[in-house]
């Protein structure tokens, strides 16, 4: 039996820590079957229990006492030692902060590396993003919008493939009853671009036409106190349920119960980064729920306007309120959009997405794959996320 090629995944972000990059990293590590995969990541509370319950081979670097920058530097140093032990045929960097190590491994061992791009990290570190894209054999962007950010950061010659994020499709998506018209937001209350503040203002307008409406907010973060104060100032705090961080099971229960998912993400000040894709939109679709999203950024890849949801100006609370109100008062329209969202979620199921990533990796290991790194022309169309 022929041994499988070895893949080393480098990521500072991995479960049980919460977050989108963590989820993508774990789904790839667990789902890629035609390569022997090992993950190098940081230690985090609960990691031993998580790793023991999952099949992926994970090596964690315990750097908890160091400041964040120091942890990333030593993660990169540890990556080279791990590569010398594991001898990978290919390295996958899930965050640009791991790209220096991936590039060093590529030079030392003569193996290609692939760089994942999400969105927010590009705006935070544009020079490092350009370095990662230009030195990687292949860049994977989660949306056409993210691919554009990579080029805008100075990596216009990089070879980029667009592969969207995936979603866990439930076996049973049967709705559960709820006693009030409900719209839901699932997002950390940590980044202003998610649009929680606009939803507070929109809620006052929705309530004028749907008096019993409630807004259920899943997620927590440093902006929550200010958001609660804003709700009190608008007199809508009695119509909001801030539930904080919840388990996956509780989130899924609310996806069964809600009528609409609303997350009108906008571009941050300066117009760089923001929503790279928006897994929450697909998660809502998996449960047959229509969505209201901003008409900018990665949501343009995740949501089909008028088909799986409504794309609106994320800075206009009137437009946001009108979309939410329309879906709450028109169950036939909401049902039609939700049904299309369910179909789209199946097209983005994690096994489908993992296979697309795996195909890119295996292609790089083929004998005809180009051997040099950096400065390659883009392969294929830039927008490939549908």
- Tell whether 378 is covered by a domain: no
- Tell whether 87 is covered by a domain: yes
Pair (57, 191) in one structural domain: no
Report the half-sphere exposure of 11 (CA within 13 A, side-chain side): 29
Three-class SS state of 87: coil
Rg of the chain's alpha carbons, rounded to an integer? Answer: 21
Report the half-sphere exposure of 134 (CA within 13 A, side-chain side): 14
Three-class SS state of 340: helix
- Tell whether 376 is covered by a domain: no
**Residue 64 pLDDT:** 61
pTM: 0.88
Domain count for the chain, please give it: 2
pLDDT digits (tens, 9 = 90+) for 5-15: 999 999 999 99
- Report helix angle 196-209 to 317-329, nearest 10: 50
pLDDT digits (tens, 9 = 90+) for 204-224: 999 999 999 999 999 999 999
pLDDT digits (tens, 9 = 90+) for 326-349: 999 999 999 999 999 999 999 999
**Residue 22 pLDDT:** 94
pLDDT digits (tens, 9 = 90+) for 51-62: 999 989 999 988
Once rounded to an integer, what is the mean pLDDT over residues 308-327?
98
CA angle 181–194–19, rounded 5-degree value: 100
Pair (203, 98) in one structural domain: no
Say how far apart CA 376 and CA 293 lie, in whole Å: 34
**Residue 376 pLDDT:** 39
**Residue 271 pLDDT:** 61
> Tokens 């220096």 correspond to what residue?
100
CATH code (residue 311): 3.40.50.2000
Taking 50 as the threshold, does the pLDDT of residue 19 lie above it? Answer: yes
- Tell whether 385 is covered by a domain: no
Name the token pair of 376: 């390659």
Taking 80 as the threshold, does the pLDDT of residue 358 lie above it? Answer: yes
- Tell whether 380 is covered by a domain: no
Taking 70 as the threshold, does the pLDDT of residue 183 lie above it? Answer: yes
Pair (333, 354) in one structural domain: no
Name the token pair of 101: 């190590």
Pair (232, 272) in one structural domain: yes
Range of the domain at 272: 182-347
Pair (300, 237) in one structural domain: yes
């Amino acid at each position: 039996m022929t041994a499988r090629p070895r893949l080393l995944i480098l990521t500072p972000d991995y479960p049980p820590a919460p977050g989108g990059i963590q989820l993508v990293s774990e789904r790839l590590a667990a789902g890629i079957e035609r390569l022997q995969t090992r993950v190098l990541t940081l230690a985090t509370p609960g990691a031993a229990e998580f790793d023991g319950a999952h099949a992926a081979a994970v090596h964690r670097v315990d750097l908890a006492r160091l400041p964040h920058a120091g942890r990333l530097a030593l993660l990169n140093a540890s990556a080279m030692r791990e590569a010398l032990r594991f001898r990978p045929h290919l390295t996958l960097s899930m965050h640009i902060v791991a790209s220096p190590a991936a590039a060093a491994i590529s030079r030392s061992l003569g193996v290609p590396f692939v760089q994942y791009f999400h969105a927010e990290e590009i705006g935070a570190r544009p020079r490092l993003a350009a370095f990662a894209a230009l030195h990687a054999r292949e860049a994977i962007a989660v949306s056409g919008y993210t691919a554009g950010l990579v080029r805008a950061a100075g990596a216009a010659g990089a070879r980029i493939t667009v592969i969207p994020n995936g979603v866990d499709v439930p076996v049973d998506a049967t709705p559960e009853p709820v006693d009030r018209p409900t719209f839901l937001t699932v997002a950390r209350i940590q980044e202003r671009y998610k649009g929680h503040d606009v939803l507070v203002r929109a809620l006052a307008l929705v309530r004028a036409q749907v008096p019993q409406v409630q807004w259920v907010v899943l997620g927590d973060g440093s902006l929550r106190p200010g958001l609660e104060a804003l709700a009190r100032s608008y007199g809508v705090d009695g119509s909001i349920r801030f539930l904080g961080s919840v388990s996956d099971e509780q989130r899924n229960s609310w996806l069964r119960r809600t009528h609409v998912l609303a997350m009108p993400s906008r571009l941050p000040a300066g117009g760089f980064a923001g929503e790279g894709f928006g897994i929450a939109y697909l998660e809502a679709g998996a449960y047959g729920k229509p969505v209201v999203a901003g008409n900018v950024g990665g949501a343009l890849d995740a949501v089909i306007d008028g088909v799986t949801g409504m794309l609106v100006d994320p800075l206009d609370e009137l437009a946001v309120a009108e979309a939410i109100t329309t879906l709450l008062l028109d169950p036939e329209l909401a049902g039609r959009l939700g049904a299309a969202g369910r179909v789209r979620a199946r097209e983005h199921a994690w096994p489908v997405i993992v296979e697309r990533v795996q195909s890119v990796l295996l292609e790089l290991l083929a004998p005809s794959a180009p051997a040099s790194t950096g400065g390659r022309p883009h392969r294929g169309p830039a927008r490939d996320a549908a």
